[in-house]
Amino acid sequence: MAKTTTTRTSKTRKKAPEKSSTERIFGPKVYSHGYTGVPNILLRAQSRLGITPTQLTIIVQLLGYYYDPLRPPFPTKRDLAKRIGITEQTIRINIKALEEAGLVTREQWKTSAGDYGPNRYHLTGLINKLKKLEPDFEEERKEREEARALTETPRARASARARKAKGDGGTK
């Protein structure tokens, strides 16, 4: 949901939507071409999930085509290869590896004319694995927030050291 800021005019009070952080970072012209939502857990769990850099790039490209949860992305291998700058064979090999890891499921798609169209790529396996990892990342988030709180004020750091010293008998 967009934040709003209040602007005053001589007669009325209007609420103008505040720009998103993405728009503020990249600017309105770049932002106007859209953006792809990539969960931070995916980026931070890349190694845990066994995803190579090429496979992550393919996943991000597929996410760029994923507009509706009821309609899985269906780019051609040629389009993916061209966008990434790799061969179609490299796309095939890496998508097969993503399938074997249970992250992506390919569905052969036939057009209304009966011809074979591009594959549809279901990301349900990836989504489910990220949901399973979320509690681990929630714990990490709490630890980061606690660490951040300790570094925000000298008094907080001193209090934390005092509490720690009392808890372990004052030994270091």
* Pair (127, 139) in one structural domain: no
Q: What is the pTM of this model?
A: 0.71
| The pLDDT of residue 170 | 47
pLDDT recorded at residue 12: 63
For helices 53-64 and 77-84, the axis angle rounded to 10 degrees is 120
Q: List, in sequence order, every residue forming a beta bridge with 116; answer none if it has no partner.
A: 110
Q: Which domain holds residue 33?
A: 23-132
Residues 6+ apart with CB under 8 A from 50: 101
Query: Same structural domain for residues 115 and 81?
Result: yes
- Ramachandran bin of 35, using left for φ above 0, alpha for ψ from -120 to 50, beta for the remaining angles: beta
Q: What is the mean pLDDT of residues 24-37?
A: 88
Task: List pLDDT tens digits, range 78-129.
Answer: 999 999 999 999 999 999 999 999 999 998 887 788 888 888 999 999 999 9
Q: Is residue 44 a contact partner of residue 144, using CB atoms and an 8 Å limit?
A: no
pLDDT band at 8 (very low <50, low <70, confident <90, very high): low
Residue 17 lies in a domain: no
Same domain, 57 and 109: yes
Same-domain pairing of 128 and 85: yes
Structure tokens of 89? 């064979």
Q: What is the pLDDT of residues 39-66, one digit of tens each?
A: 999 999 999 999 999 999 999 999 998 8
Q: For residues 65 and 75, is the Cβ–Cβ distance under 8 A?
A: yes
Q: Are 154 and 98 within one domain?
A: no
Q: What is the mean pLDDT of residues 5-28?
A: 73
